Chains A and B, each alone.
Chain A
Amino acid sequence: MTSVNNKSNQKPSPYATLAAIFAIFLIILGLTGYYIVKKEIENDIKNLLQLNLSANLTALKSWIDDKKQDAKTIASEPGLLQVIHSIMEIPKLPNLSKIQI
């Protein structure tokens, strides 16, 4: 009984108190750090997604413009235009079959 009473009456060791405070500090620090890092990563991801979207958009526009330009270039060739115009005149003829066209 004496030993039990002695144990219960013992003050906690200063090392144990320090360790507990340090552990709580570490948990708070960890959670805060986690929150900050998470926010940073979220921002980074957001930026990355925006950047990626923007890059894709630029590439897409460029590609579309290229294709458009290709189409315009081809369509503006005089020889081809002449052929096209001549072809365009054919449907005006009556009862022209598919094969004829």
Chain B
Amino acid sequence: MRKRLTAVCKLHNFLGFVLLNEKGLQIAALFEDPIGKKRLVEQSSFQLSLEGKTVISHPFIATIDLPDKKNKWLPNQPTMFVSTPIKNSAGKITGVLSFRMRPEEGFSKIMQVSRFGKTGETYAFNQKGDMLTDSRFNKQLKLLKLIPDNSNSRSILKIKIKIPVGFNRLTQNAIHGETEENIEGYINYRNISVVGAWTWLREFDFGIGTEIEYQEAFSLLRDLLIIFFLFFIFLILASIIAFNYRNNQIKIKNELAGINLQLQKKFQEAQSAKEALSITEFKAQTIVENLTEGIVTIDSNGIIKSFNSAALKMFGYSRKEITGKNVNILTPEPHKSLHDDYIKNYLATKIPKMIGLGRQMEAIKKDGSTFPIDISISETVLNNEHIFTGIIRDQTQYRRAEEAEKANQAKSEFLSRMSHELRTPLNAIIGFSEVIFYNAKEPLSSSQKKNLNHILKASQHLLELINDILDLSRIDSGKIRLSLEPINMDQLIKDLSNLVYPMAEKEKVQLSLSEINSDIFVLGDKTRLKQSILNLLSNAIKYNRPSGQVSLKVIRVPNNRVLIEVSDTGIGIPNENFEDLFKPFNRLGADRSEIEGTGIGLAITKKLVELMNGSISVESDLGKGANFLLIFQLQTILFRQQMKLILKIKNFWILK
């Protein structure tokens, strides 16, 4: 039997066989140990086989030593049987033939067929919770010391599985073909959180379960969670970055706006400054252009850079003609040839010859004529460039005036000297003529008296003329001295009346001196004012018609002024002669008449009145007479009181 079945067992991957009789006695086997024993019949599956069913037993621990794959005989090895009844020819069950299997091979391996993932496993278990198949994690179980740590150690029947649903419930549910599962996670036999499903197989009386580690089962969810979390973090970071970016943008925008505002302000300031500069430049240019002095600027090579209007007028060039030319064309020789050297020497030595100094020299116009100028030159350094500015004054008029003044002074001096020289012998002539005329011891004949009287009149006229010339020359030369004081006009006119009434009577002219307010005072030199008014009255009497009238009025006029009016009823003065009226030695044709006069009285009067801060004018109605008007400033009471006080103090100190 062994011969026959050994090959068959190998063929069907059975470890061995055992033949039991109807009483459960093991009467034949591949190995010797089971024979004659009844142990196997204790397994329920053998009983079922004796009842006529072919069944497969649960794995159980063998009571005999069994060979492993390497044919090493080991005790306590898990084993399992598939048993089938043996019937005789009458169909009666006479025994059971059981084939031994290694549970770790077929049974366990079939459980591994459809396990999934890295941690998924499927196992079978009995009602006690013993694991009937080999665990996928034997190595781990050995490390956890849940099974012995040796090479043949297996988890079959050595591990109690843990399921969250009770085994009873599982078996109950199995009636209805239901399975149980747990996907919330639970701790399994390896103390690992897993999810699993179980079902109980009633026909085999064991259950099978499948598990996978929670972490692996939900790895997708975890990955999604991580992705979502990372995405959320990314969004938060992106939001923060965007927020910061926006804030920075706003900040930059605000800063830019601030900078823009500042720039605008600066621009406006610059614009204002530019406008102010333009205005200043315009003003300066206008001033320069309107100066009576010529302004010329040249560079260090002597090239003319600018030429103002006065200079253009002075030299007779147009701006286009002169700008860019060498300045030496404006000067005659020897300056013309030496001018460039002046500048070079100055720049080399800094010793000025003309620069910074005023100088008078000759200049040459466009037409070649020369004229005197007064020039002052200054130096300016702009952007390392030397600019020389010349201020030129045309001295032509000044020279002429100077020469005229000199000539006038010479004339006055000549007249003064001559008058003085003439007056001395003239006084002798008059004096001795009067001595002869009035000598009682040697009386003259009537014809002699008549002739001597002519000499006396002519001499006195000549003396009067000389005195007038002397006065005029003194006034012209500025040598006359006036003693200004408040003059009571009432008193002054009374003094004058003594002099002019006889003259009027002599000329048969009616003289009328008006009543004068005693409060009228003017500031002047009493003698010279009297001389001026007397001159006017004298002229009015002399140049009047027979039985004519002369009047004198002194009246206050608005603006605190005093008008002294001398009117006559003479022939009058043509308007065109008014300008010449006050020129010396101009008698406007009267020199051809018999009326005596020097022709310088009005000239002296005008100069004296002006020296006393007054004015003189004339108005005339030809053929009806003329009015001479003197206007002086009225002196107030307060002023007069002050003057009196000053005079008292002065007198006090003089007396002292």
Contacting pair B110 A60 (CB below 8 A): yes
Which A residues are CB-close (under 8 A) to B629?
A: none
Contacting pair B183 A79 (CB below 8 A): no
A56-73 Cβ-contact flags toward B at 8 Å (1 or 0): 110110011001101110
Among B86, B101, B183, B235, the residue within 8 A (CB) of A81 is B86
Extra inter-chain contacts (10) besides given A41-B221, A52-B197, A87-B27, CB under 8 Å? A33-B228, A37-B224, A52-B115, A53-B198, A57-B201, A60-B124, A60-B208, A63-B110, A70-B14, A88-B21
Contacting pair A56 B97 (CB below 8 A): no
B467 CB to nearest A CB, Å: 93
Q: Given A55-B113, A68-B56, do A34 and B224 touch, yes or no (CB 8 Å)?
A: yes
B interface vs A, CB < 8 Å?
A: 1, 4-5, 8, 12, 14, 19, 21, 25, 27-28, 32, 35-36, 54-56, 82-86, 88, 94-95, 97-99, 101, 106-107, 110-111, 113-116, 120, 122, 124, 179, 181, 183, 195-199, 201, 204, 208-210, 212, 217-218, 220-221, 224-225, 228, 232, 235-236, 239, 242-243, 246
Contacting pair B122 A56 (CB below 8 A): yes
A24 to B25, CA, bound (A): 78
Which A residues are CB-close (under 8 A) to B198?
A: 53
Within 8 A of B (CB), among A48-101: 48-50, 52-53, 55-57, 59-60, 63-64, 67-68, 70-72, 74-75, 79-81, 83-85, 87-88, 90-91, 98, 101
The residue in chain B whose Cβ has the minimal distance to the Cβ of A68 is B54
A89 to B375, CA, bound (A): 168
A52 to B121, CA, bound (A): 10
Name 8 A/B residue pairs within 8 A (Cβ), A-sorted.
A37-B221, A38-B221, A53-B179, A53-B209, A56-B110, A59-B113, A74-B12, A88-B21
Interface centre among A59, A63, A88 (most CB of B within 10 A): A88
A74 to B32, CA, bound (A): 21
Contacting pair B179 A16 (CB below 8 A): no
Contacting pair B212 A71 (CB below 8 A): no
Contacting pair B84 A34 (CB below 8 A): no
Contacting pair B208 A15 (CB below 8 A): no
A90 to B19, CA, bound (A): 12
Contacting pair A71 B210 (CB below 8 A): no
Contacting pair A49 B212 (CB below 8 A): yes
Which A residues are CB-close (under 8 A) to B5?
A: 74, 80
The residue in chain A whose Cβ has the minimal distance to the Cβ of B85 is A75
Which B residues are CB-close (under 8 A) to A64?
A: 56, 82, 204
Interface centre among A45, A98, A101 (most CB of B within 10 A): A45
Which B residues are CB-close (under 8 A) to A70?
A: 12, 14, 82, 99
Contacting pair B239 A87 (CB below 8 A): no
Among B84, B120, B209, B218, the residue within 8 A (CB) of A71 is B84
Contacting pair A84 B99 (CB below 8 A): no
Among B4, B111, B195, the residue within 8 A (CB) of A49 is B195
Which B residues are CB-close (under 8 A) to A34?
A: 221, 224-225, 228
B421 CB to nearest A CB, Å: 99
CB-based A-B contact count at 8 angstroms: 158
Which B residues are CB-close (under 8 A) to A60?
A: 110-111, 124, 201, 208
Which B residues are CB-close (under 8 A) to A71?
A: 54, 82-84, 97-99
Contacting pair A56 B196 (CB below 8 A): no
Which B residues are CB-close (under 8 A) to A37?
A: 221, 224
Contacting pair B197 A46 (CB below 8 A): yes
Chain A: residues with Cβ within 8 Å of the partner, total of 46
A53 to B207, CA, bound (A): 10
Q: Given A26-B232, A34-B228, do A80 and B197 touch, yes or no (CB 8 Å)?
A: no
Which B residues are CB-close (under 8 A) to A45?
A: 183, 195, 212, 217-218
A63 to B114, CA, bound (A): 14
Among B86, B113, B199, the residue within 8 A (CB) of A53 is B199
A91 to B99, CA, bound (A): 20
A interface vs B, CB < 8 Å?
A: 15-16, 19, 23, 26-27, 30, 33-34, 37-38, 41-42, 45-46, 48-50, 52-53, 55-57, 59-60, 63-64, 67-68, 70-72, 74-75, 79-81, 83-85, 87-88, 90-91, 98, 101
Among B27, B116, B236, the residue within 8 A (CB) of A101 is B27
Contacting pair B197 A75 (CB below 8 A): no
Contacting pair A57 B54 (CB below 8 A): no
A76 CB to nearest B CB, Å: 8
Which B residues are CB-close (under 8 A) to A23?
A: 235-236, 239
A101 to B19, CA, bound (A): 11
The residue in chain B whose Cβ has the minimal distance to the Cβ of A80 is B4
Interface centre among A46, A56, A63 (most CB of B within 10 A): A56
The residue in chain B whose Cβ has the minimal distance to the Cβ of A15 is B246
The residue in chain A whose Cβ has the minimal distance to the Cβ of B112 is A56
The residue in chain B whose Cβ has the minimal distance to the Cβ of A86 is B1
A33 to B224, CA, bound (A): 10
Q: Given A34-B228, A38-B221, A80-B1, do A52 and B114 touch, yes or no (CB 8 Å)?
A: yes
Which A residues are CB-close (under 8 A) to B114?
A: 52, 55-56, 59
A16 to B196, CA, bound (A): 47
A71 to B36, CA, bound (A): 22
Which A residues are CB-close (under 8 A) to B101?
A: 67
Which B residues are CB-close (under 8 A) to A16?
A: 243
Which A residues are CB-close (under 8 A) to B4?
A: 79-80, 83
Which A residues are CB-close (under 8 A) to B196?
A: 49
Q: Given A52-B114, A55-B113, do A30 and B228 touch, yes or no (CB 8 Å)?
A: yes
Which A residues are CB-close (under 8 A) to B27?
A: 87-88, 90-91, 101
A56 to B4, CA, bound (A): 34
Interface centre among A30, A50, A53, A55 (most CB of B within 10 A): A53
Interface centre among B106, B181, B236 (most CB of A within 10 A): B181
B217 CB to nearest A CB, Å: 5
Which B residues are CB-close (under 8 A) to A72?
A: 54, 84
Which A residues are CB-close (under 8 A) to B116?
A: 48, 52
